[in-house]
Amino acid sequence: MENVQAVKQRFGIIGNDPELNRAVEKAVQVAPTDISVLVTGESGVGKESIPKIIHSLSHRKHGKYIAVNCGAIPEGTIDSELFGHEKGAFTGATAARSGYFEVADGGTIFLDEVGELPSPTQVRLLRVLENGEFLKVGSSKTQKTDVRIVAATNSNMVDAIEKGKFREDLYYRLSTVEIELPPLRKRYEDIHLLFRKFASDFAIKYKMPTIRLEDQAVDLLLKFRWGGNVRQLRNVAEQISVLEHDRTISYETLKAYLPDVGSNLPAVINPKKRKSDFSNEREILYKVLFDMQRDINDLKKLTMKLMDTGDANRVREENSTLISKIYSDRGPHDASSEAEETDQTVPLNTMFGDDDRESQDVEVLNIPETTLEHPAQKREDKYHFAEEIQEEESLSLHDKELELIKKSLEKYHGKRKDAAKELGISERTLYRKIKQYNL
Q: Distance between CA atoms of 420 and 268, rounded to whole angstroms?
A: 31
Q: Which pLDDT score is estimated for 339?
A: 42
- Kindly report, residue by residue over 121-141, the tens digit of the pLDDT: 999 999 999 999 999 999 999
Average pLDDT of the segment spanning 71-77: 90
Helices (H) and strands (E) in the chain, counts: 23, 9
Q: Distance between CA atoms of 48 and 68, rounded to whole angstroms?
A: 11
Under DSSP, is residue 45 helix (H, G, I), strand (E, B) or coil?
Answer: coil
Average pLDDT of the segment spanning 151-165: 94
Alpha-carbon radius of gyration of the chain: 37
- Kindly report, residue by residue over 333-379, the tens digit of the pLDDT: 444 444 444 344 444 444 444 444 443 443 344 444 444 444 444 44
Q: Which pLDDT score is estimated for 409?
A: 82
Q: Which pLDDT score is estimated for 438?
A: 77
| pTM passes above 0.75 | no
- Kindly report, residue by residue over 187-237, the tens digit of the pLDDT: 999 999 999 999 999 999 999 999 999 999 999 999 999 999 999 999 999
Q: Distance between CA atoms of 268 and 273, rounded to whole angstroms?
A: 11
| CATH class of the structural domain 4-182 | alpha beta
CA nearest neighbour of 428 among 418, 411, 416, 436: 416
pLDDT mean across residues, the chain: 80
Average pLDDT of the segment spanning 153-167: 94
Enumerate residues 6+ apart whose C-beta is below 8 A from 15.
Answer: 8, 187, 189, 190, 193, 194
CATH of domain 192-264: 1.10.8.60
Q: Distance between CA atoms of 277 and 306, rounded to whole angstroms?
A: 37
Enumerate residues 6+ apart whose C-beta is below 8 A from 45.
Answer: 181, 182, 183, 184, 229, 230
